[in-house]
Amino acid sequence: MIKPHGSEELLPKIVNTDEEKASLLDSSKSMKKILVNSAAAANLVMLGAGYFTPLEGFMSKKDVISVADNMTLENGLFWPTPVVNLTNQKINFNVGDKIALIDPNVEGDKIIAIQSVDEIETLSSEEIDNIINKVFGTNDRSHPGVQTFYDQGNTLISGKVSVINFSYFETDFGETFRTAMQIRSAIELKGWKNVVAFQTRNPMHRAHEELCRMAGKRVNADGILIHMLLGKLKPGDIPADVRDSAIRTMVDHYFPKDYVMITGYGFDMLYAGPREALLHAVFRQNCGCSYLIVGRDHAGVGDFYGAFDAQEIFDKIPNNALLIKIFNADHTAYSKKLNKVVMMRDVEDHTKEDFVILSGTKVREMLSRGENLPKEFARPEVAEVLMKHYIKGN
């Protein structure tokens, strides 16, 4: 199986034994506490679950700036996006202390992790502007990821972490949430050697389904990992439980048995386009996948990125930066001539009129207006799941 990123083995930061958790929680009674933001909590879940191997905690200012400018840590390790604990709260602890981090997404002031405070540093407004511009390609606050980063504050708390739990993800998505360790173990148990990963924050319409099928066939995959984001999204995106149900319905009806593994991970969407595509590759490599499907406007939002910027960025990083390979997907559309979904580059005898262009945005718009989805857009069983959500919401 493919090795984890920058390591011979996964390095999850979750505390494994009940005894160690109890000891840490007991020690936390005398620690200073800080309520982290949702982005930091999501980083903790990813650190705990092994997805961010080989990171051991939150980045320092030098590492954050290096990642923004060069896509490497100070030590030269490839890493595309900052992993930070930023705050705008008053600091009442010191370098060298251990602090308890409170989960903002769970009631009752629950501790999600213990952090060793290596450094407490301030980012200037100019430094924050530069970091955001490099990572997101824009400083426009209408970009949801940009606004979220600006809102986090300018005090950077770096240091190693010991993660106590996976926030709300295990309880709310018990059937779907999986750590990188669990996914690697499941792949090994199945005997899969060559696995294609598909990233999604949306329900899967016909184009997504066919992309998985095409990619699996072309790289001779043993199986497909459908890996859905379960964390915070922008307003208007379809909730994770509805997506989960829609995807499971599609797989049950239209894929061979035991060919697809449906899982999810606990992270808040960055909408960082090309940089986030690289991050997606990092943690799919950590899951043990050989390929990641990168499609049109992967991890993008609005008109901030070009259709294939997320593919082109992989050509700009060093050849040895990642072990995972990329399956580049073209525009997909429903061919009226062939009565199936195709990648448009694969069919030369078509005119524009021969295609029905498929779009997740258009699917959401039609559903919000109470319109039935045509067969070219969604399987009827999937459309029924989505329509029930929209009818209930209205």
pLDDT-derived band at 65, boundaries 50, 70, 90: very high
For 71-80, the pLDDT digits (tens) are 999 999 999 9
Region of poorest pLDDT, from 45-49, 168-172, 337-341: 337-341
CA distance 36 to 187: 34
Per-residue three-class SS string for 33-96 = EEECCHHHHHHHHHHHCCCCCCCCEECCHHHHHHHHHHCECCCCCECCCCCCCEECCCCCCCCC
pLDDT at position 370 is: 80
For 13-36, the pLDDT digits (tens) are 999 999 999 999 999 999 999 999
The alpha carbon of residue 344 and the mean position of all alpha carbons in its chain are separated, in whole angstroms, by 27
Q: Which of 270, 297, 294, 265 shows the shortest CA–CA distance to 197?
A: 294
Cα–Cα distances (Å) from 8 to 1, 80, 156, 283, 354, in that order, read: 11, 20, 30, 14, 49
Mean pLDDT for the stretch of residues 278-303: 95
pLDDT at position 239 is: 83
pLDDT at position 358 is: 65
Higher-confidence position of 199 and 351: 199
Query: What DSSP string runs through 93-116?
Result: --TT-EEEEEPTTSTTT-EEEEEE
For 82-105, the pLDDT digits (tens) are 999 999 999 999 999 999 999 999
Q: What whole-number percentage of the chain has pLDDT above 70?
A: 98
- The 260-265 sheet, strands edge to edge: 260-265, 223-229, 195-200, 291-294, 325-328
Mean pLDDT for the stretch of residues 282-286: 98
Residue 394 has pLDDT above 70, yes or no: no
Active site residues: 201-202
pLDDT at position 141 is: 97
Unique residue bearing structure tokens 């450094």: 119
Mean pLDDT for the stretch of residues 299-306: 93
Higher-confidence position of 207 and 229: 229
Cα–Cα distances (Å) from 262 to 214, 226, 251, in that order, read: 18, 5, 9
pLDDT at position 346 is: 82
Structure tokens, 60: 């320092």
For 332-388, the pLDDT digits (tens) are 778 888 888 887 788 888 888 888 876 667 777 787 788 888 887 888 898 888 888
pLDDT at position 393 is: 61
Residue 319 has pLDDT above 70, yes or no: yes
Count of Cβ atoms closer than 10 Å to residue 191 Cβ: 8
Is the Cβ–Cβ distance between 201 and 228 less than 8 Å? yes
Domains of the chain by range and CATH? Answer: 18-165 (3.10.400.10), 172-393 (3.40.50.620)
Is the Cβ–Cβ distance between 22 and 50 less than 8 Å? no
Mean pLDDT of the residues in the chain: 93
